[in-house]
Every structure is written in structure tokens, then in C-alpha cells.
Chain A
């Protein structure tokens, strides 16, 4: 919001005639020729000042930035009034934090010019605990080691009760949607199985590039910090939905079984990507192969699944702070680190501390993809994926590793650049990233900026740059869920 008040005096001075002395100023003016003593009329810009506020809507106590710039006002300083005060320079920025709910008007007066900006100040929300720690470490014991995997602890409860179990080392994944657990749940927890409309109970096949997870769908209250997603569908592997032990063959036709701790390298997956459901409307209208199944007797049959019963991003089901998440990780030195801690924050712009500030927003297409341009190649199916443990892209000029198959092993630290762009080209920004030899990383290193191969050498079609966890180092990355104004987006 921006409000400019031009004084009448300023309007009257829109055209100013100044008598010029024959001096150095003259050299720049076309009317100065001939050396005559005749005073020349000159147009000077009218005195003006403008002030803006970003953001223009804040919670009480939340910081915002005022930016102002005065021109042709003749003075060396301006006066602040209204919701701020004192003498300030003719241009500058200042962080302010309005304390009182209502409307705060920040006015600046520079000579005869004045300008104001109005900021809407909402009452601070009730202080909900809306963040949990992220730990990047060597993973659960059964994983056999991990690199660049962000873990959180997740609590699941029998719906409507305080009978709960907390599972550690659940991978935070911005490339999927919904909670999947790969560890046995205590018998006392007693999560109810989701009943299939056709009888029996629901089983699900979740598809990933590197394989599938298969298991029954159960109902649970998912608790993260002070937030609760009530009666959510979650997938639990190692279970036999409807008593059927066999995995449907169509599910096994996706690839390998990822539904155990050693294959996945985690006790579960917390999918907090851009979408709400793991399948979406496709599974509402038809029984899509290798997704949802009604399991009864001795067989599982593909079945339709209403949106509300699909395995879904639990954050989107919170009562508050449900429009996105922020992954915050510290920067990582070139040689990598042996421990790394960050934060998973719920909600965007819903609390004093989770607003987008200097970050740029990148809109995504219907597939959740934006554009990466790397070495002249435009990849329109690119994405940010905290569940990918490297930066995966195609560059056949980079040496691959002899031991860590599929990774790049440059002989010395490599610095590269790319440009990311919103799918509709509304924003873009350069990204500088580094790659280090994966094979020579010390065993103690659990986070480092590494990269590896990807498909994507089509001359046409959708090629992908998969910005995995190293992209998140040293950044706040906002994951704006679908359904909000302007649709789903990344911001960083």
C-alpha cells in the first residue's frame, strides 16, 4: 500500500525557471550557447518524496522495512512523523516494528514534499508452537549411514486420544505429500485402518523414482510442535491391509521396494511438498493402477479414493499455520560437516516470525515444477526436493565417481551457476552452487554440497534439475502450498 501526498506548493512548482549564472552548470545545457547574458529558462524536476513499506501488512511486533527517497527538495534531511519520528536522510531504509494493532501511518516530510505509507497491523496471533528441529545426521541405525538427509521426529496418536507414539528420523521431503512410516507401530497405539468403501481396508502403493512403498492406510492424529492434523490418512509399510500379505504386482512394477528403513535410510517420510494429496483428483475419478487398493479376502483391487481420505500433507490439515512450511538450514563449509541442525517452520505469514522477507517467490506449474537454465539448457521440469540428497542434473562434462555411482567427483571444488525462473517467467534469479568429490568425503561427514547425474538430455520435452538438500544449505526455503493466492510456489 502506498499513499503519496503532494502538497499544493509542490504542484505549483512543477515548472521552475531559474536564472543561471554563466558557470559550470551552463556546460550541460543546450540553451547556453552563444555566451549571451540572457537568463535561460530551465525545467527542474518538482520536489518529491516517496515512501514504501514492505510488507504492508504485519502482526503487532513484527518488523517491516520502510524505504524512502526524496528528490529536488533542497535539504539534506527529512522529518519523520506519524508512527515514527525524528530526522532522517533524504533517502534510506529503516526497520520498524509497530506494536499496536490497527493502522500505522508513516509520514516523511522533505521541504515542501511529503509522503505517507499506511501499514495494516493485525493483532499478534496466539503463540502456537509452530516449528520443530531438523537434524541432519547419520540416520537410524538400520539405515547403514546417510548423507544429506533431513530428519524430524513425528508424533502419531490414535484419533481423538492421547495414546501416541513418537517416531524419530522421519525424512522431511518437499518432493512428496503425506506421512509414511516404515517402522512397526506399538500394538497399544491401535491406529484404525481406513475402511474401503467396497469392503475390506485400504492399501496404498506410493511411487518414487527409486521405487515404491506399499502398506495399509491408517487414521491418525499427526502432531508436530503445537499443531495437530486430526484423523489423517497415513501409510504404514510392513502391514497387510485387509489381511492381504501380497503386494499387488502393478505396485512392484514401479521398481524396488523402498518401504523399509535400510532401503529408505529413514524411519518414515514426512511429505510436505507443494500439493495437499499424494494422488489428487485423478484418484477421485478413477481407480488408478499402482495407487489405492481395496484389500479383502486374498486380493487387493484398485479403487477410487476421495480427496479427504487420501494420504495427505499433514501440515495442510492443521487448524492454523497450514499454508506452507519453511525449511531453514545453516550454510555448510565446502569440506562438509559432521553435524547440522535446522528448523521446520509451519505456516507462511501466519506468525510474527514466518513471513517472506527478502526472499523471491517462484511460481510453479500444475506439476509443481519451475524452470532451471544451466549451461544454456532450459529445464522446464525442475524442482526443489529436500528428499534428494544431492543436486541431480545432467552435465556429461563432469567426471563421475568410481565408488559412489551416479555422483559427480570433480578433482577439486567446483563452483557452478544456474538461473532459476518462475514457470511463467514472472521472477528469476541466479544460483551459485558448489560440488565436492563424494568418494573422498570423510566417513564422519553427514552434510556436504554434492551432486550427481540425472536424465534429461532430451532435445524437447521436460528435462529436470533436481535441487536436493545442498540447495537448502544457508537458506530459508518457503514451500507455499497449492490453494493460496497465486497458487503453489517456492520462495528463497
Chain B
């Protein structure tokens, strides 16, 4: 339903850029990766999705607004992606929240902040997660659109 157009990207305009969430899509530090871009349904398309399969087998999706900014990311696969790259400035929110270690530790992550929501769950060899900037979701787009 959402798949309108798919094109292979052989390179990105900003080879040294690592920023993802809140910035431009990442090239994962120039790793050899497979990427595809998918446009959302609707005219004009509300967003596009850059799908990257990392060498580890993990699939990363970056949700890009018409203005070119990544407003959401998700991952699924046998290894965690480089979350410092993928979450960019929001990586510190993840580490600050998961560093809390009350008597009852928490092995799964659901962080709901006004600026960002981060979900991360799974176990060794099977990880899944999402993160999005609520204020940056394009009009008509909800978290349910983030696979």
C-alpha cells in the first residue's frame, strides 16, 4: 500500500554525515550496505523511507520528511545497529534513561519524553526497536506508520 516507488541509492550526497534522527539519513560510516528508498502513499507523499540492510543482517528504516529530515527510525535483526549514529543527539537520552538502576532493573526500553520516544526490546540474536521525534512527524503521520 505504501510502496509507490523504489529506487536504489548508490551513494548519498553527504558521505561524511553520520547524523540520522533529527538530521539527514546516515550512510553508517561508509559500511558496505544495501539501501532502498520507498515513498509513502498519498500525493504528495508524506514521507519516504530509506531501508538499509546492514552487513550484520539487521534492517534499519529511516523515515524522511519532504524537507529531508529523519523524523523516525526503526531497526529489526540479529544485532543492534549503531544507535549512537542512528539516534544521533537522542542517544544520550537512551543512555541516561537506561543508566537508572533502581532495585528493580529493567531489561526492556520504553522512553517517552516530550522530545522523543524510544522503544527497544528483544534478546540476544533478536532485537527490535523504534524511535521518533513527536514534534517532527509530518501532518497525518502517526507512530503507527513506523514499522
B-binding residues in A (CB < 8 A): 144-148, 175-177, 206-211, 249-250, 252-256, 262-263, 265, 271, 273, 275, 278-280, 282, 286, 288-291, 367-369, 381, 383, 385, 387-390, 392, 394, 403-407, 438, 450, 452-464, 466, 468
20 A-B contacts (beta carbon < 8 Å): A144-B103, A175-B107, A176-B124, A250-B82, A254-B80, A256-B99, A278-B124, A282-B78, A282-B79, A288-B55, A289-B54, A369-B126, A381-B122, A387-B107, A392-B106, A405-B97, A405-B102, A456-B121, A464-B121, A464-B122
Interface 1/0 per residue, B121-147 and A, CB below 8 Å: 111111111100000000000011011
- B76 with A394: CB separation less than 8 A: no
The reply to whether B105 and A462 contact each other, CB–CB distance below 8 Å, is: no
Does B56 count as interface, using CB distance less than 8 angstroms?
yes
- Picked from B79, B82, B102, the residue with its CB within 8 Å of the CB of A403 is B102
Tell me the bound Cα distance from A208 to B122 in angstroms.
Answer: 9
B78-111 interface (Cβ within 8 A of A):
78-80, 82-85, 91, 94-95, 97-110
Measured between beta carbons, the chain A residues less than 8 angstroms from B15 are none
Find chain A residues with CB under 8 A from B147 CB: 458, 460-461
How far is it, in angstroms, between the C-alpha of A403 and the C-alpha of B102 when the chains are bound? 9
Q: Is the CB of B106 within 8 A of A406?
A: yes
Do A144 and B76 touch across chains, with their CB atoms under 8 A apart? Answer: no
B104 touches A390 (CB 8 A): yes
Q: Known contacts being A282-B57, A288-B55, A381-B128, is A175 close to B98, with CB within 8 Å?
A: no
Measured in the bound complex, the distance between the Cα atoms of B101 and A453 in whole Å is 15
Q: Which of B95, B108, B123 contacts A455 (CB 8 A)?
A: B108
- Which residues of chain B come closer than 8 Å to A262, judged between CB atoms? 101
A392: which of B91, B94, B121, B128 is its contact (CB, 8 Å)? B121
Whether A452 contacts B106 by the Cβ 8 Å rule is yes
- Name the B residues within 8 Å of A211 (CB-CB): 98
Which residue from B74, B78, B106 sits with its C-beta under 8 Å from A210? B106
B128 x A461 contact (CB < 8 A): yes
* Chain A residues, CB < 8 A from B104: 147-148, 389-390, 404, 407, 438, 450, 452
Chain B contributes a number of interface residues (CB within 8 A of A) equal to: 47
A450 to B106, CA, bound (A): 11
Contact (Cβ within 8 A) A459 B144:
yes
A residues less than 8 Å from B98 (CB atoms): 210-211, 255-256
**Which of B55, B85, B108, B110 has the most A CB atoms < 10 Å from its CB?**
B108
CB contacts (< 8 Å) of A279 on chain B: these are 125
Other A-B contacts than A288-B79, A453-B108, A458-B130, 8 sampled, CB-CB below 8 A, are: A148-B104, A208-B107, A210-B108, A253-B91, A263-B101, A290-B79, A389-B104, A389-B106
Chain B residue with minimal CB distance to A210? Answer: B98
- How far apart sit A288 and B56, CA to CA, in the bound complex (Å)? 6
A247 to chain B, nearest CB (A): 13
- Answer whether residue B120 sits at the interface, using C-beta atoms and an 8 A cutoff: yes
Asked if B31 lies at the interface with its beta carbon under 8 angstroms from chain A, I say yes
**Residues in B neighbouring A278, C-beta threshold 8 A:** 124-125
Task: Select B105's contact among A254, A273, A389, beta carbons within 8 Å.
Answer: A389
Question: In the complex the two chains form, is A455's CB within 8 Å of B102's CB?
Answer: no
CB pair B56–A207 under 8 Å, yes or no, is: no
Beta-carbon contact of B124 and A207 below 8 Å? yes
6 shortest interchain CB distances as A-B pairs? A455-B119, A253-B84, A367-B126, A175-B123, A453-B110, A176-B124
Given the known interface contacts A265-B105, A458-B144, the answer about A275 and B125 at a Cβ–Cβ threshold of 8 Å is: yes
A residues in contact with B143, CB < 8 Å: 457
Question: If the complex has contacts A289-B55, A290-B80, A457-B143, are A392 and B108 also in contact, measured as CB distance less than 8 A?
Answer: yes
Q: Cβ of A254 and Cβ of B83 under 8 Å apart? A: yes
- Interface contact B105-A407, CB-CB below 8 Å: no
CB <8 Å contact, A289 and B56 = yes
Q: Evaluate contact between A466 and B124: CB separation under 8 angstroms.
A: no
Please measure, in the bound complex, the distance between the C-alpha atom of A253 and the C-alpha atom of B80, giving whole angstroms: 9
CA distance A258 to B110 in the complex (A): 18
A367 to B121, CA, bound (A): 13
- Distance to closest chain B CB from A397 (angstroms): 15
List, in ascending order, chain A residues with CB within 8 A of B55's CB.
Answer: 286, 288-289
Q: Which residue of A lies closest to B61 (CB)?
A: A461
B83 A209 Cβ-Cβ under 8 A: no
Among B76, B102, B103, B126, the residue within 8 A (CB) of A368 is: B126
Contact with B124, one of A252, A271, A452 (Cβ below 8 angstroms): A271
Contacts of B54 in A (CB 8 A): 289
A390 vs B31: C-alpha distance in the bound complex, in angstroms? 37
